[in-house]
Chain A
C-alpha cells in the first residue's frame, strides 16, 4: 500500500513538473516568435454575472471566426483567445488580470460588469496592455487609465436618457432601487435622479439592497406604500425576475424601467407574464445591420451549444455587438500600429476612426471612451423585447 502511495506521489509530482515546464514554454512563445498571438478575454463565466459573460463570449467567439488572423509586418498571425474567468468577483478579477498579462496577451477584451473591470484596470495600465471594455458603463472604468478603452456608452448618458424617457411618458413619481456596492447600479441611479429631478420629477422612495439578496418583499412593500407610478431598477439582470415576480405577488402594479443589463432573455423566461411592459435601453437593437444579424444568427444556430449559452434563443443581445466591435477595433489597432507592443497599440487606439463598427462608428475621446450618443429603448411585449425608439442625446 505504501509503495503505491509513493508511486502515486511521484507520478503526480512528475506530471506537475511537466505542466509547469510546458506552461513556461508556451508563455515565452506568446510574444510573437511563433505564428500565433494571444488576445485575452476578461469575462465572468461564473458568479452572479456568469450568464451575461457567457453571452458576451459568444460575440467575441463569433468575431474570431470572422477574422481569425491579423497581419503585422506583412506576416499573417493567427489569433488565439485566452479566456480568463473573473468569477464576477473583484478579488478574482485581479488574479485573472495578472494571468492574462503573464500569458503575454497583446490586448484584452472585456468585460461584463463595471465593478470587476475597475478592479482589474490598474494591472493592465501598469503592464501597458491595452484593454477594450465591452459593456462596462461606469465612468470610473476608463477614467485616469490610459490603457482602458471602451466601445459602449456611459452611465451618465444612459441614466439621463432614461430619465428623459420617464418625463416624456408622464411618470412624475418614481421609486429607485439601488444595489449597494455595485458601481453600475449606483452610477445609473445617481445620474437618473439628477436628470429626473432637474426636469421636475420626484423620487418618492429610494430603496437599496445588498448584493446576493433574494428577498425584496420588504422594499417592494415600501414602494407600494409610497404610491410611485414607476420604478427605476438598473440592477444586474439576476435580480430582475425576483423583483418582477415578487412585486406581482404583492400586487404592485408599476412601470418598470431599467438599464442595458435587463435586456436579457433570462427576464422574459423567468418572469414570463410579470415581465410584460418593462422598459430597458440597449446598445444595439436587432435590425440595425441586417447583414450582421443574419450572419450572426446563422453562426449561433450552427451549434446547439452556442444556442444554449445564448439562453436557448438566437436573439442578438446588444452586448454581443459591443464585443464584436471591441474585437474588430483591437485587431484594427494592432494592424495600424504594425506592432505587438502595448504602447504602440494604445497609441493606435487613441487615433482610431472605425466607421464600419456595427453598433455605431467608434472614435475614442481623451478618456478612452467611444463617442456614442444613441441608445435604443425597448419594451417587453408578448414575451419579447420590441424596439420602441432610438434616442439621441447631445451634451
Chain B
C-alpha cells in the first residue's frame, strides 16, 4: 500500500465524515432539547440540496448559497411548527411517528416537485478546484469539509456554553417545565435549535453534494440514518460527541469499502449502532442520565 493511496483514502474519509458530523449535530441538538429523534432531518438535508440547485440557477453562488441555507432553515422551522409543536404535550412516541411521517412527506414531495430523475448539483468552481500533490488528487471542498466542520463545532460549543441563548438551551434540555417557570421562552429556544440544526445540515449538504454531484429524492435517507447512528455513537445530546461520531462513521465507511467489503459498509454502520447500544448506551460522550422511572 503506497502512502499516496493511504492519504487519498484518509482524505476521502475525512471529507465524508465532516459532512456527516454537521448533519449529526442536528440530530443531537434536537434530541437534547425535545428528547425526540427528528427522523425528517436527513430529508431536510436532501431538500437543502434542491434549494441550492434552484438558487444557483438564478443567482451567483455567493448569494445563492446563503439563500439555500435560509430556505432550509425556514423549512425546518415550518416543520417544527406544523408537525411537532402541536404534539408538545403528547407522548414522545407520537412526535417521533410524526417525524417519520414528515420524512416520507418530504421524499414524496421532492419526487413530485423535482421528479425522480437525479439532478445535477451545481459545480461551483471555487469549491471544485482540484489540487495535485504528489499522486494525491484532491478538490478544495474535500479539504474544506473537515476544517469547516471543526470551526463550526467550536463556534457552536462556544454559543451553547457562553451565551444567554446557550444557557436557555441547556436549561430547557435539563428540565423544560422548570425552565419555563424561570422565564425561559421554551418555544423560541426550540425554534432556535431547529434554526441552528437545519443551517448546519444545509452547510453539510453543500459540502456533501458538491463532491457527489447529484441530488435525488432519496439522497437524504441513507446519510440521514448514518448520521443518526453517528449521533448515538457519540452520545446523543452531546455536540462534540456527534462530531466525533460523524468522523468515525465516515472513516469506517471508507476503510471498509477500500478493503473491498463494500457489501458490508452500510451494514457495519448499523452493527455499530447495535454494539454501542449494548455496550455503552449513552455513547462515547453521553451523560449517564438516570431516568426517573
- Chain A residues packing against B (C-beta within 8 Å): 44-48, 50-51, 54, 88, 180, 207-210, 212-215, 217-219, 221-222, 224-225, 238, 241-242, 245-246, 248-251, 266, 269-270, 311
Contacting pair B16 A270 (CB below 8 A) = no
Number of interface residues of B (CB under 8 A): 38
Q: Which of B89-97, B113-121, B167-175 contacts A (4 or more CB under 8 A)?
A: B113-121
- Chain B residues packing against A (C-beta within 8 Å): 2, 5, 8-9, 12, 16, 111, 115-118, 120, 128, 130, 132, 137-139, 142, 211-214, 216-219, 221-222, 253-254, 257-258, 260, 262-263, 265-266
Contacting pair A51 B115 (CB below 8 A) = yes
> Please, how many angstroms separate the alpha-carbon atoms of A45 and B115 in the complex?
9
With A215-B212, A249-B137 known as contacts, the answer to whether A221 contacts B120 (CB < 8 A) is no
Contacting pair A180 B263 (CB below 8 A) = yes
With A210-B266, A215-B212, A219-B262 known as contacts, the answer to whether A270 contacts B118 (CB < 8 A) is yes
> Please, how many angstroms separate the alpha-carbon atoms of A250 and B132 in the complex?
9
Instruction: List the A residue with the shortest CB-CB distance to B257.
Output: A218
Chain B residues with CB below 8 A from A214, complex form? 212, 214, 219
Chain A residues with CB below 8 A from B111, complex form? 46
Chain B residues with CB below 8 A from A207, complex form? 260, 262
With A212-B222, A222-B260 known as contacts, the answer to whether A246 contacts B213 (CB < 8 A) is yes
Contacting pair B117 A50 (CB below 8 A) = yes
With A217-B12, A219-B262 known as contacts, the answer to whether A50 contacts B115 (CB < 8 A) is yes
Give which listed residue, A47, A218, A245, contacts B116 with CB less than 8 A.
A47
With A50-B115, A250-B8, A251-B132 known as contacts, the answer to whether A210 contacts B216 (CB < 8 A) is no
Chain A residues with CB below 8 A from B142, complex form? 249
Chain B residues with CB below 8 A from A238, complex form? 118, 214, 216
Q: Known pairs A210-B262, A249-B138, A249-B211. 15 more at Cβ < 8 A? A: A45-B116, A46-B217, A48-B218, A207-B262, A209-B257, A215-B12, A215-B253, A221-B258, A222-B258, A222-B260, A238-B118, A241-B120, A246-B213, A249-B130, A249-B139
Contacting pair A270 B258 (CB below 8 A) = no
> Please, how many angstroms separate the alpha-carbon atoms of A218 and B115 in the complex?
29
Chain A residues with CB below 8 A from B253, complex form? 215, 218
> Please, how many angstroms separate the alpha-carbon atoms of A208 and B137 in the complex?
22
* Top-5 shortest CB links A-B: A50-B116, A251-B137, A218-B257, A51-B117, A270-B120
Contacting pair A225 B5 (CB below 8 A) = yes
> Please, how many angstroms separate the alpha-carbon atoms of A46 and B12 in the complex?
31
> Please, how many angstroms separate the alpha-carbon atoms of A250 and B116 in the complex?
28
Chain B residues with CB below 8 A from A249, complex form? 128, 130, 137-139, 142, 211
Chain B residues with CB below 8 A from A54, complex form? 117
A–B complex contacts, Cβ < 8 Å, 24 sampled: A45-B116, A46-B111, A50-B115, A51-B115, A51-B116, A51-B117, A180-B262, A180-B263, A207-B262, A209-B257, A209-B262, A210-B263, A214-B214, A221-B12, A224-B5, A224-B8, A225-B2, A238-B214, A242-B214, A249-B128, A249-B137, A249-B211, A270-B213, A270-B214
Chain B residues with CB below 8 A from A217, complex form? 12, 16, 211, 254
> Please, how many angstroms separate the alpha-carbon atoms of A215 and B212 in the complex?
6
> Please, how many angstroms separate the alpha-carbon atoms of A247 and B118 in the complex?
19
Chain B residues with CB below 8 A from A269, complex form? 120
Contacting pair B216 A48 (CB below 8 A) = yes
Instruction: List the B residue with the shortest CB-CB distance to A225.
Output: B5
> Please, how many angstroms separate the alpha-carbon atoms of A213 and B222 in the complex?
9
Instruction: List the B residue with the shortest CB-CB distance to A250.
Output: B137
Most central of B12, B213, B221 by chain A CB within 10 Å: B213
Distance in angstroms from B227 CB to nearest chain A CB is 14
Instruction: List the A residue with the shortest CB-CB distance to B116.
Output: A50
> Please, how many angstroms separate the alpha-carbon atoms of A180 and B264 in the complex?
11
Distance in angstroms from A264 CB to nearest chain B CB is 10
Distance in angstroms from B20 CB to nearest chain A CB is 11
Distance in angstroms from A225 CB to nearest chain B CB is 5
> Please, how many angstroms separate the alpha-carbon atoms of A54 and B218 in the complex?
18
Contacting pair B9 A218 (CB below 8 A) = yes
Give which listed residue, A212, A218, A245, contacts B258 with CB less than 8 A.
A218
Instruction: List the B residue with the shortest CB-CB distance to A311.
Output: B117
Contacting pair B12 A266 (CB below 8 A) = no
Chain A residues with CB below 8 A from B265, complex form? 210
Distance in angstroms from B125 CB to nearest chain A CB is 13
Chain B residues with CB below 8 A from A221, complex form? 5, 8-9, 12, 258
Instruction: List the A residue with the shortest CB-CB distance to B11.
Output: A217
> Please, how many angstroms separate the alpha-carbon atoms of A217 and B254 in the complex?
8
Chain B residues with CB below 8 A from A311, complex form? 117
Instruction: List the A residue with the shortest CB-CB distance to B261.
Output: A208
Distance in angstroms from A216 CB to nearest chain B CB is 9
> Please, how many angstroms separate the alpha-carbon atoms of A224 and B258 in the complex?
12
Chain B residues with CB below 8 A from A248, complex form? 130
Most central of A218, A225, A249, A270 by chain B CB within 10 Å: A218
Chain A residues with CB below 8 A from B8, complex form? 221, 224, 250
Instruction: List the A residue with the shortest CB-CB distance to B250.
Output: A215
> Please, how many angstroms separate the alpha-carbon atoms of A212 and B116 in the complex?
13
